[in-house]
Structure 1
Amino acid sequence: MKTIVLDSPTVFKFQEQEAPTSLQANEALVRIRKIGICGTDYHAFRGKQPFFSYPRVLGHELGAEVVRLGGEKNAIHVGDRVTIEPYLNCGTCQSCLNNKSNCCQNLQVLGVHVDGGMTEYLKVPIHKLHQSKILSYEQLALVEPLSIGAHAVQRAEVTAKDMVLVIGAGPIGLSVMQFAKLRGAKVVVLDINKERLNFAQEQMQVDFILEATEDFAPDALRSCLDGFLPTVVFDATGNPNSMKNAFSYVSFGGKLVFVGLFIGEVTFDDPLFHRREITLLASRNSLPQDFSDIIHLMENGKIDIKPWVTHRADFDDLPHVFNDWLDPKSKVIKTVVAL
């Protein structure tokens, strides 16, 4: 089977590998049909992805077809269209036993810690498959990135009373906007990229957009929110300066959620943190229920991912065009690769 391996930073190689043959009773063999490209893949390509080693087969945003089952009887059948929950948790650690499988102490993520879906066939646990009779493979490939935003919004317990600031209008920031809007919150978006801001306003119908200039101050937020500051701030940049500055944007008694991450330390002014009694949250991956909920919303027309997919490529072309997507001039929001 054809496989693309990230051999080292910036170096993709094609390999012919043997397709999996033996399956355990709890395993399925799937044929990968569509692959979403995300920030993790770009960071790995650049050599800047935490918890990563080379060589590695990337790909964890996946739309696939079930081609064989190991024997376990369940709701999944051969021929089903599925998305894959790429978080392989142990099931026995304290986090797993407390229904927090997304932060399993022994977690292995497809395409990050173990080889992922940039290949024709993949063997996965059956319980990690989420099926839809309605959604296309492309739609199913985008369930996982949507789930990151869904989980973050759930963590923050956003309601219609909240004033939400999303910092970073990339795909993860867009997913946060999507679910904050679904909960009825007022949403402001802050980014340095004018085109992404315009996309957020036109396609996500956020309430306000603000350009992040060097002299940006919280007063700009007050002007959008009737003199108030956001009750919930999501930072989806993974930029240390942005994450540090985010503390000053949170209202008294508000919440700050770090969705993005970087290799390093975040510092903040402790008196400001205490005086405002800010709740600081990290949001990592997502939970099985997030996948089920998103599929239901997509099937019922509550989420439309068509505007998100700005670029598409064939599997054989990926090594030749991947670097181009890193150029801001390419105006990439989300790329999907077809096998």
Structure 2
Amino acid sequence: MKALEITKPGAARLVDRPEPTPAPGELLLRIHTVGYCGTDLSTYRGRNPLVAYPRIPGHEVAAVVEGLGEGVSDWTVGEQLLVFPYTECGVCSSCLAGRPNCCKNNQTLGVQRDGVLAEFATIPAGKAMRAAGLGPRELALVEPLTVGAHAVARGQVTAGETVAVFGCGAIGLGAIAAASYLGARVVAIDVDDAKLDLAAACGAAERLHSIRDDLGARLNELTEGHGPAVVIEAVGLPATFRAAVDLVAFAGRVVYIGYAKEPVAYETKWFVMKELDIRGSRNALARDFEQVIAMLAAGRVPTERIVTQDVSLADAPTALANWDRAPGDVTKIHVQLRK
């Protein structure tokens, strides 16, 4: 079979790999659609410390059951599915606390182990998820949207609250859609007008351009001087890390999804004076997947607009290189392996 391999930083190519055979308890999948993730771009750039080369990327998946391993009885050949791409150890403090999404020993498809950007793949049957009524495009968008939805859950967002989201890429759009779905008033913040328009289509009530607008003044206007109850940071820059703390309301919550690639210096008095809850957000839980599936089924996310480009497997290496050269032009790339 053909697979895409990131051979080393700056180099991606198609390779031949043996077609896998499902072990007991596994499903053999024929892969339909795989979305490129920001982690794949980091791997291509050589900036992902969790990756060893060569690596097959891919964990945003729409697939069809092609075969059943011994002992699998609750799936049938031909069913469509998506993949829960995280593997937890079950024994670390995170797993024991019921938060396997941040497992100390987590392995995510396409990151710590090979992913599924190939014509066929095998997965444990327990990692496959049904999503009735969703097509391949929606199935492949569930996982990136759940990362934003999990951040909303971490922020304990409730109806009527004002939530500011820094960054309107695929992850930020998931946070915007999830917060809006819960009844919050969402303020989207970005430097790109087109992405701000897309954020509005995902449920943002207000849009702020972080270069043209005075963020502090505008957020105060929108919140009667209080600031947003929750700020979600989905950019990963020191400036936005600091801005989240500066702009959030007293007694507010700050949630970080991205992580800055360098140390961040804070005015720490705000941590204490505002009595802030500052929380990280990593991956997602099964219930976040269920919420996003419901959002997509309800038509709450403009999936056709989120996907910037569809490419074939043959063109996938070039698409990755082009994304590296012009990252601002891309919200989401889908690799189509089966028409």
* 8 Å Cα contact 1:130/1:292 also seen in 2: no
Once the two structures are superposed, what CA deviation does each residue of 1:175-221 show, in whole Å capped at 9, x if it has no partner?
A: 100001001111111112222123222x2241211111299452231
Match of 2:9 in 1: 9
* 8 Å Cα contact 1:130/1:291 also seen in 2: no
Q: Does structure 1 residue 292 correspond to structure 2 residue 290? A: yes
Match of 2:147 in 1: 148
* 8 Å Cα contact 2:168/2:196 also seen in 1: yes
Partner Cα distance (2:205, 2:297) in 1 = 26
Q: Does structure 1 residue 125 correspond to structure 2 residue 124? A: yes
1:67-106 superposed matches below 5 A:
67-106=66-105
* 8 Å Cα contact 1:50/1:262 also seen in 2: no
Partner Cα distance (1:98, 1:74) in 2 = 31
* 8 Å Cα contact 1:102/1:285 also seen in 2: yes
* 8 Å Cα contact 1:80/1:133 also seen in 2: no
Partner Cα distance (2:69, 2:264) in 1 = 45
Alignment coverage as a number of residue pairs: 337
Per the alignment, do residues 151 and 54 of structure 1 end up closer, same or farther by CA in structure 2, a change over 3 Å counting?
same
SS at 1:122 equivalent: strand
SS at 1:234 equivalent: strand
Pairwise CA distance, 1:172: 0.6
Instruction: Give ranges in structure 1 of 5+ residues lacking alignment.
Output: none
Partner Cα distance (1:259, 1:163) in 2 = 18
Match of 1:306 in 2: 304
Once the two structures are superposed, what CA deviation does each residue of 1:79-129 show, in whole Å capped at 9, x if it has no partner?
A: 111100110112233322332111112110000110101111111111110
Once the two structures are superposed, what CA deviation does each residue of 1:25-57 show, in whole Å capped at 9, x if it has no partner?
A: x21111111011121111211222242222111
Pairwise CA distance, 1:150: 1.2
Point out the more displaced range, 39-48 or 57-66: 39-48
1:1-339 superposed matches below 5 A:
1-24=1-24, 26-201=25-200, 203-213=201-211, 216-328=214-326, 331-339=329-337
SS at 1:64 equivalent: strand
TM-score normalised over the length of structure 2:
0.93
Partner Cα distance (1:102, 1:16) in 2 = 32
* 8 Å Cα contact 1:66/1:79 also seen in 2: yes
Instruction: Give ranges in structure 2 of 5+ residues lacking alignment.
Output: none
Identity of matched residues, %? 35
* 8 Å Cα contact 2:26/2:72 also seen in 1: no
SS at 1:189 equivalent: strand
SS at 2:164 equivalent: strand
Amino acid at match of 2:115: G
Point out the more displaced range, 247-256 or 257-266: 257-266
* 8 Å Cα contact 2:198/2:305 also seen in 1: no
Amino acid at match of 2:123: V
Pairwise CA distance, 1:296: 3.1
Partner Cα distance (2:53, 2:37) in 1 = 18
TM-score normalised over the length of structure 1:
0.93
Pairwise CA distance, 1:76: 2.6
Once the two structures are superposed, what CA deviation does each residue of 1:241-262 show, in whole Å capped at 9, x if it has no partner?
A: 2112221011000000001113
RMSD of equivalent CA atoms: 1.9
Point out the more displaced range, 216-225 or 100-109: 216-225
